[in-house]
Amino acid sequence: MRQKVIKFHRRRSLTSTLSQQAQGEIDELHAKAMDARSGRHGLECDIGVCSEGTAVVNPDSTDLVLERSMKSNSWGRQLATFATVLVLTTQAHAGPVSGQGTWESTLSGRDINRNAVAATSASAVYLYDSALGVTWLRNANASGERDWASALQWASDLVTGSGASQVSDWRLPTLTATDASVCNFAFVATNCGYNVDTGTSELAYLFHVELGNLSRFDAAGDERLFGAGLTNTGSFNNLQAAGYWLANPLDADVAWRFDTFDGVQDVTFKTLPFYALAVRTGDVLAVPEPQTILLVSAALACMGLITRRRQVAGA
């Protein structure tokens, strides 16, 4: 099933200190874009032009209006990419794509009791990522949309399983760039923008390398009209074509996020609602208890003794 989606695309250099008026304008547009996904607010779009009532809004002119508004509010020091435009696109519902990316060899399933199962098994609750050395919660929409602080708290408080199979120490994916305090927006190989450095971002690595998804723009800045965004969800359940929070803040007002809708990693206001994907370091695979190991060892020893006696008797 294909559906029309309204999406924010941030691309202008602005600031982190926002006036209440400017913050309100962006929040209002964000809310309308989110509601437009559900058919609310009467916002209709066709081939890149959105109209609300009798007013026709072109994405480029919207960008200019917002830019003027931001400048008139004296937003202070410049940081990164924030100007907002409405972008219309059409995206099919994504699912697992065999042969795309490395996920079939790097993701292994673990059930609620932390036993090894196939990553695509219905009983798989966790996905161990051998490439990153982490375990992902398979349900990529366990948190729902929430602001950054709430997402951090949700992951920190998350406890799955029970008893000896309980798993904690969950967190949000991290950006491990040396300097996560600057968004160096580009179309390739930085910590911010499209086609980012996958060696410094857990979620970018998962999206681009393991799931084989492409950013909306290529390294030259040319838009990919087909096949970009979230086309492969691998063995994850409920992976959304939307923004996901990263654990890193940029300053008091904004934090990092990765958007699986178009493969962009950037910074945005902490107060906005995005999804959270829980991850933890290491494998949750159950380790046999000492007495179990002793019993198995004893059984193997007995089998070996019986085999040797039979060999001697038959000689």
Confidence tier at 30 by pLDDT (50, 70, 90): low
DSSP 8-state symbol, 175? B
Q: What per-residue confidence (pLDDT) applies to 206? A: 99
221-251 in b/e form (b: 16+ CB < 10 A) is: eeeeeeebbbbbbbbbeebbbbbbbbbbbbe
198 within 8 A of 204, measured Cβ to Cβ: yes
Residue among 26, 132, 139 at smallest CA distance from 86: 26
Q: Return the minimum-mean-pLDDT range out of 21-30, 57-66, 143-152, 261-270.
A: 57-66
The gap between the terminal CA atoms of the chain, to the nearest Å, is 71
Residue 74, by phi and psi: left (phi above 0), alpha (psi -120 to 50) or beta?
Answer: left
Taking residues 54-80, report their average pLDDT.
33
Confidence tier at 114 by pLDDT (50, 70, 90): very high
Residue among 234, 211, 279 at smallest CA distance from 119: 234
Provide the total of helices (H) and of strands (E) in the chain, helices listed first. 6, 17
Instruction: For the chain, state the CA radius of gyration.
Output: 24
Dihedral Cα 262, 266, 269, 275, nearest 10 deg: 50
Contacts of 66 (CB under 8 A, 6+ apart): 25, 26, 29, 83, 84, 85
The pTM score is 0.69
Q: 3-state DSSP call for residue 295?
A: helix
- In whole numbers, what is the pLDDT of the chain averaged over residues? 77
Confidence tier at 176 by pLDDT (50, 70, 90): confident
